[in-house]
Amino acid sequence: MPHAITVNDLSVSYDRKRVLNNIFLEIEEGHRYGILGPNGSGKSTLLKAMLGLIDDYTGTIQVLGQDVQQVRKRVVYVPQRSEIDFTFPATVRDVVLMGRYPHKRVFQRLNAADNTMAEAAMRELDILNLQDRQIGELSGGQQQRTFLARALAQGADILLLDEPFVGVDIPTEEKIIEVLRKLSAEGKTLMVVHHDLQAVPEYFDHVILLNQRLIAYGPTEEVFTPEVLKRAFGGQLALLQQAGQM
């Protein structure tokens, strides 16, 4: 049985500057992976490379044993909120229904089953009462719930989330991790860029530590240690400890 994602000797450059260098990973199905590292360490770049959104790279990436383009509807991406245009005139329901389009042919309309799945996703994230609200009118937590609901509506096997807990309130953070735990229990694979080191042992059963190269990865209890964190974060670790993030 293939791994959820296999990365072989991945290197990525932007404007001739190396961002990721010689990354090897075998991501197992049914786990919650926290992707950790200092700013500029390549965390978001790793997700985008797995999605096929980066051209300038070397190495190979397989998703469910194939090129990601062949299994596109089985993979879903929740970007950072800063990358989303919240002025776009779409309601919560419109956004969540977008998760159904990968399953449609060109010009094929959404049907009752699609609407049922969208409603179930909104109910799961406690935003069904907001379905007619324009996304720009929502709080940060409500916006993040909306885009996670879109991911649920797609019914993908692999979910890639970039900083989903940033700028959200405590109830939303608790709801998101509740949903992520439920998904992994169902056999889904989750890869989550995360910055709050204090929450890592509670939120993730596996971690990946990056600093342009792969520092370590594996089960949280084995890899998330002071020695490995020091290798990944260097002098920043003391600052994180002072800020209460460790």
pLDDT tens, position by position, 94-106: 999 999 998 888 8
Q: What confidence score (pLDDT) does residue 213 get?
A: 95
**Average pLDDT, integer, range 128-144:** 94
In the chain, the percentage of residues whose pLDDT exceeds 90 is 74
Average pLDDT over the chain, rounded to an integer = 91
Q: 232 pLDDT exceeds 60?
A: yes
Mean pLDDT along residues 7-13: 95
- Tell the residue number behind the tokens 């419109």, with chain if given: 94
Outline where 159-219 has alpha helix (H): 170-185, 200-203
Q: Is the pLDDT of residue 55 over 60?
A: yes
**pLDDT per residue over 157-216, tens digit each?**
999 999 999 989 999 999 999 999 999 999 999 999 998 898 999 999 999 999 999 999
Query: Where does the pLDDT of residue 2 fall: very low under 50, low under 70, confident under 90, or very high at 90 and above?
Result: confident
Q: Thinking of the domain 5-242, which architecture would CATH place it in?
A: 3-Layer(aba) Sandwich (3.40)
- Say if CB 81 and CB 166 are below 8 A apart: yes
Residue 82 or 64, more confident: 64
* C-alpha of 191 from chain center: 5
pLDDT of residue 244: 47
pLDDT at residue 83, as a whole number: 84
Domain ranges of the chain: 5-242
Residue 236 has a pLDDT of 62
Rg (CA), the chain: 18
